[in-house]
Chain A
Amino acid sequence: MESNGTKGLVLDEPLIFEKSSPGRVGIGPAHSDVPESDPKKTLGQKFLRDDIEGFPDLSEMDAVRHYTRLSQWNFGLDSGFYPLGSCTMKYNPKINEAASRLPGFAQLHPYQPEDLSQGALELMHSLEAYLSEITGLEAVTLQPSAGAHGELCGLLMMAAYFKAKGKPRTKIIIPDTAHGTNPASSHLAGFKVVPVKTEGKGALTVEMVKAVMDEDTAGLMLTNPNTIGLFEKNIKEIAEVVHSKGGLMYCDGANLNAIMGLVKLGDIGVDVVQLNLHKTFSTPHGGGGPGSGPVCVGKALEPYLPCPRIKKENGKFSLDFNRPKTIGRMKSFYGNFSIMVRAYSYIRRMGGVGLKRATEAAILNANYIKERLKGTYHLAFDEPCMHEAVFSDKFQESCGVSTMDIAKRLIDYGYHPPTVYFPLVVHGAIMIEPTETETIDTLDRFIDVMKTIAEEAKTNPQILKEAPTKTKIRRVDETRAAREPILRWKK
């Protein structure tokens, strides 16, 4: 198998601080058109600082070269196939970037008068309506900054709901397949986590929930499709169990891209869901954010949505702060607006039909990979999958090769590895999410490479253990990073 990874000139680059030369000027601020105020006199010496020790001084071009070189050590979605499971690395349309940078969006102050912000409010209002339509839930807040932030928001609303009923509830049920943010957010919202073991079943059963659901339990936090890439088939019946005890159904909607246009969460008993615009709605991940994590809720939770909400009256948009039951705010201002612009732009480009097509194509691509790799790698659950397929290193273990080795070897072939060692319930998990924006040719090449690596595991395992060799650096010593922490540059 030929590798995509080839040689190129990669330049070394020191830390920015090591390139600094005191006195060198980059981009100075504007000339002043007002009399200079002497800080010593205006503020007094006690408030003033000395020089900023170690702060770098570079020419503009050296700064640009610095970051350009750094960027070349990165692998982005635009560089190549990035099948990171659960993360939905679909194409980030360039038109969305352009739209978000229009001065009429980028240069708005959050406190400028509503009259001057009608376009922004209209966009947010429409986006809320689209997300409401897609999820089948009545009301939406766009305030949370990311998935985990949305989870916290939704869970706090649940807590407020029970408190208002005069019967606060203390627990929440979370299956062992859940993302780490689910229990972490639950804890922060004040709930004790009741874990449910799915015992290698793949899907949650009604019995599993029945066994733990009681009237001290606020509800169930379920990812659907779950992190194994399977639709929770019993969700309607499970929701009935939860509801019969007065509980609420929380859905982690990070995997909405697998059901958008096919299933409305509100129709199947979900009361509250957070969406990751940086997954399903094509906004970029930025090397770790910013994202956006809107929360959609049914009628029962609507009064508790964070403040402010966007209101439309007589064709005019405004911010509504008069919400007596609100949980308060999750952050300052109204949310990650420029990410909302991108998601809105995506939805308008795709249209209702296009969104459904995207879902179908994502399912097609994932099943294609699942079918074609299933003899070569151990498939955790051999049934039709949704948007991702979870394999493991079970077949390769006897060669002394682990999931990590397979992942690192993929890099030498020019691919970003899949998500590894998650979900935790699958030992040595290899979670592959191709997304709908990849061609079948890309998938074919990737599949061939995966097969070649499986062969290499048998015939030459050392080559996997040594991988990657073509990257700028080889495997890093993560233990040392934690044992002898260096978290900043020092002179």
Chain B
Amino acid sequence: MPYIPHTAKDIEKILKAVGAGSVEELISQLPAASRLKGPLAIPDGLSEQELLGHMKALSSKNSTVEEYSSFLGAGAYNHYIPSVVDAIISRSEFYTSYTPYQPELSQGTLQAIFEYQTLVCQLTGMDVANASLYDGATAVAEACLMAKRITNREGIVLANALHPEYRETVATYLTGTGDHLSTIDYSATTGATSLDAIESAISDKTACVVIQHPNFFGSLEDIEAIAGVVHKKKALLVVAVTEAVSFGLLKSLGDCGCDIAVGENQSFGNSLSYGGPYLGFMATKTEFIRQMPGRLIGQTVDKEGRRAFCLTFATREQHIRREKATSNICTNHGLCALAASVHMVSLGSGGLRKLAALNLSKAEYLKKKLKESGVEAAFTSPTFNEFTVKVKGSPDGVLKKLLEKKIIGGLNLEKYYPELGNHLLICATEMNSKEEMDALAAALK
């Protein structure tokens, strides 16, 4: 049997030691009435060679974003992952260990995640960051719960230009503890959330306002101005970022007055993998640490005074506080955080800035090309590597035609925003060549 090393002799020896005549006798502790009578209806086991063949065959029923030119973003971004990332996260000392409960045996994970927390603080301009959350959507949900605890208020105001699946996740998370949810619309001209709409959506019952930046349509939001409006009502501003490469260019959220920065770090080092696992991040101000969900790594010393790291502020967490914990999260996305760190570090500050600038250049080029084809950007706000266009004809029809040319042309927005019939969300990254973009523009003419 694969992975089970017991020989007949081993089993005999164990049975003798435990005083049982047979394996069946040992498991007779299970009430007979509960026992499964027959075998599991699951196919017989495969040899490793057969299994790999089977997995290859199954995987080849999919088409990848390498075989097609893909212009999809919308919360999952196709970026180049340097070879060092897989080399490091494939080290089994990292990937086969558990959550670092025993610090003397886990300094590698602990220091790496402490560094990751620091990198997230540097990118966001916030004071502290946690070790990770599941993904961007759950990070936003956790931020809303956290804002409720901090402010003792109930109201959660979500920008309509926040990723629709994030909004749905927030709604699900809030059903248990009270869903005083409302949304603020975006401006049909700029594609950004308008200040007036925000102002009229907040009351003295609002715990937080959640804004995505760049938002779901790709439009940049005026975070500084929004922070002013939100803080006037003593509510908190939560800013969600789905495309973390934008950190390389865009003003840090801390500098813009954000209180809780959350989002998705998949863009760094984590493959698309049909939607997961990705990497939720959360960073905030020092004063809010005790209300933060998730694991935190802290620096300390060992008994001989050497620098050392360990899990800390555990009194916020479920294994100590049980139902009074700040969150139920236990296992997080540690290895994804390591992958993100390795990618960030291998880019360095200069590389990250260049990568972000390259993404901007690609998207601007594509925008220009599409315009030449008569496909106009739908909104006026500046954008980073993703933008919304209006196409001629039904978007599904347009996308289908593009598929024939091996192009995945973007996301049909109508499904999420009925008012945006004929609109596509299009993303260009460093993975999209000039030829690909030219081909897309030509096909849309």
Contacts and interface: CB of A to CB of B under 8 A. Distances in A.
B105 A156 contact: no
A122 interface: yes
B275 interface: yes
Interface string A401-412: 000000110010
Contacts of A99: 51-52, 55, 59
Interface string B335-349: 110100010111111
A411 B102 contact: yes
Interface string A457-491: 00000000000100111111110111001111100
Given A104-B59, A329-B169, A39 B360 contact: yes
Interface string A301-345: 000001100000000000000000001111111111111010001
B361 A134 contact: no
Contact of A28 (B55, B64, B354): B354
A104 B60 contact: yes
A417 B102 contact: yes
Contacts of A53: 122
Contact of A186 (B62, B111, B323): B323
Given A27-B346, A332-B136, A368-B14, A489 B114 contact: yes
Contacts of B308: 473, 476-477
Interface stretch (A59-67, A209-217, A243-251): A59-67
A35 B145 CA distance: 44
A350 B44 CA distance: 7
A478 B300 contact: yes
A58 interface: yes
Interface in A173-200: 179-181, 183-191, 193
B327 A184 contact: yes
A57 B345 CA distance: 7
Interface stretch (B151-159, B197-205, B311-319, B372-380): B311-319
Interface string A71-95: 1111111110010100101111101
B445 interface: no
A145 interface: yes
Given A267-B34, A474-B304, A478-B310, A145 B318 contact: no
Given A99-B52, A104-B56, A331 B46 contact: no
B44 A43 contact: no
A60 B109 CA distance: 20
A193 B56 CA distance: 47
Contacts of B118: 15, 17, 54, 488-489
B31 A29 contact: no
A51 B255 CA distance: 13
Interface string B150-171: 0000000000000101101101
Interface string A20-62: 1011111111101111110100111011110111111110100
Contacts of A364: 6, 11, 14-15, 18, 23, 26
B281 to A, nearest CB: 13
A282 interface: yes
A146 interface: yes
A286 interface: yes
A439 B10 contact: yes
Interface string B37-48: 001111111101
B194 interface: no
Contacts of A445: none
A27 B329 contact: no
B29 A384 contact: yes
Contacts of A147: 330-331
Contacts of A191: 176
A349 B2 contact: yes
Nearest to B75: A332
A120 interface: yes
Nearest to B129: A488
Contacts of B20: 367
Contacts of B107: 70, 73-74, 472-473
Contacts of A267: 34, 36
B36 A262 contact: yes
Contacts of A70: 107-109, 111-112
Contacts of A413: none
A26 B70 contact: no
Interface in B107-166: 107-109, 111-115, 117-119, 121-123, 127-129, 131-132, 134-138, 145, 163, 165-166
B183 interface: no
A349 B361 contact: no
B335 A75 contact: no
A169 interface: no
Nearest to A484: B300
Contacts of A383: 29
A476 B106 contact: no
Nearest to B357: A39
Nearest to A118: B61
Given A73-B108, A75-B93, A134 B102 contact: no
B442 interface: no
Nearest to A163: B175
Contacts of A67: 88, 91, 112, 338, 342
A309 to B, nearest CB: 15
A92 B93 CA distance: 12
A383 B301 CA distance: 42
B350 A23 contact: yes
B396 to A, nearest CB: 10
Given A54-B122, A350-B45, A364-B14, A63 B345 contact: yes
Contacts of A480: 300-301
A215 to B, nearest CB: 20
B52 A98 contact: yes
Contacts of B423: none
B426 interface: no
A235 to B, nearest CB: 7
A330 B36 contact: no
Interface string B84-100: 10111011111111111
Interface in A267-319: 267-268, 276, 278, 282, 284-292, 306-307
Nearest to A45: B251
A82 B343 CA distance: 29
Nearest to A117: B62
Interface centre among A27, A78, A287 (most CB of B within 10 A): A287
A9 interface: no
Contact of A26 (B247, B317, B331, B351): B351
A71 to B, nearest CB: 4
A133 B129 CA distance: 41
Interface string A360-374: 110111011011100
Interface in B227-265: 247-252, 255, 264
14 contacts: A47-B250, A54-B122, A63-B84, A74-B106, A74-B109, A75-B93, A78-B93, A103-B59, A233-B29, A286-B338, A289-B334, A440-B10, A474-B303, A485-B298
Given A27-B84, A290-B335, 6 more contacts: A43-B250, A180-B318, A181-B328, A355-B42, A356-B39, A474-B104
Q: Which 7 A-B pairs have the closest CB atoms?
A: A104-B59, A333-B275, A351-B45, A286-B335, A119-B61, A288-B334, A190-B176
